[in-house]
Amino acid sequence: MSQRKIVLGVILRAVENLSDELEDGAKISVDEDTKLFGTDAVLDSLSLVSVIVDVETAISEKFNTPIALTDDRAMSREVSPFANVTALADYIVELLAEAGL
Amino acid sequence: MSHPIVLEGEFVNLRPLAAEDAALTFAWRQSARARLLNLGATSVEQQAKWIASRPPSEYNYIIELKNGRPVGTLSLVAVSEANRHAESGRFLIGDEEAVKGVPAAVDAMRLLYQFAFDHLQLTRIYGTVARENRLMIKWQKYLGMKEEGCLRQHYLIDGRFQDAICLGLLVSEYRRISLPKMNALIAAARVPTAKA
What is the predicted pLDDT for the residue at A76?
80
Report yes or no on B196 lying in a domain: no
**A42-52 average pLDDT score:** 93
pLDDT at A14 over 70: yes
* Mutation for A interface: B134, B193, B195, most A CBs within 10 A: B193
> What pLDDT is recorded for position B40?
77
Q: Which residues of A touch B180 (CB under 8 A)?
A: 70-72
Residues from chain A that touch B139, judged by Cβ atoms under 8 A, are 46, 49-50
Domain extent for B80: 7-189
ipTM confidence: 0.88
CATH number for position A87 = 1.10.1200.10
Question: One digit per residue, pLDDT tens: chain B, 196 residues?
Answer: 456 689 999 999 999 999 999 999 999 988 777 777 776 788 999 999 999 999 988 999 999 999 999 999 999 999 999 999 999 999 999 998 999 999 999 999 999 999 999 999 999 999 999 999 999 999 999 999 999 999 999 999 888 999 999 999 999 999 999 999 999 999 888 856 444 4
Q: Do B180 and A21 touch (CB under 8 A)?
A: no
Dihedral sign (CA A36, B24, B34, B144): positive
Residues of chain B whose beta carbon is less than 8 angstroms from a beta carbon of chain A are: 32-33, 93, 96, 99-106, 134-136, 138-139, 142-143, 180-181, 183-185, 187-189, 191-194
Q: Is residue B2 part of a domain?
A: no
pLDDT for B60: 96
Q: Containing domain of residue A62, as a range?
A: 3-98
Q: Report pLDDT digits (tens) over B12-63.
A: 999 999 999 999 999 998 877 777 777 678 899 999 999 999 998 899 999 9
Q: Is residue B194 part of a domain?
A: no
Residue B3 Cα, gap to closest chain A Cα (Å): 27
| Chain B closest-CA separation from residue A86 CA (Å) | 11
pLDDT value for A72: 79
Read off the CATH number of the domain in which B72 is found.
Answer: 3.40.630.30
CA A69, CA A76: separation in Å to the nearest integer? 12
The partner residue sitting opposite A21, judged by closest CB among B101, B135, B192, is B135
Number of domains in chain A: 1
Number of folded domains that form chain B: 1
Please say whether the beta carbons of A70 and A52 come within 8 A.
yes
| Confidence check: pLDDT of A31 > 80 | yes
Q: Sort out which chain B residues have CB atoms less than 8 A from A34's CB and list them.
A: none
Residue B72 domain-assigned? yes
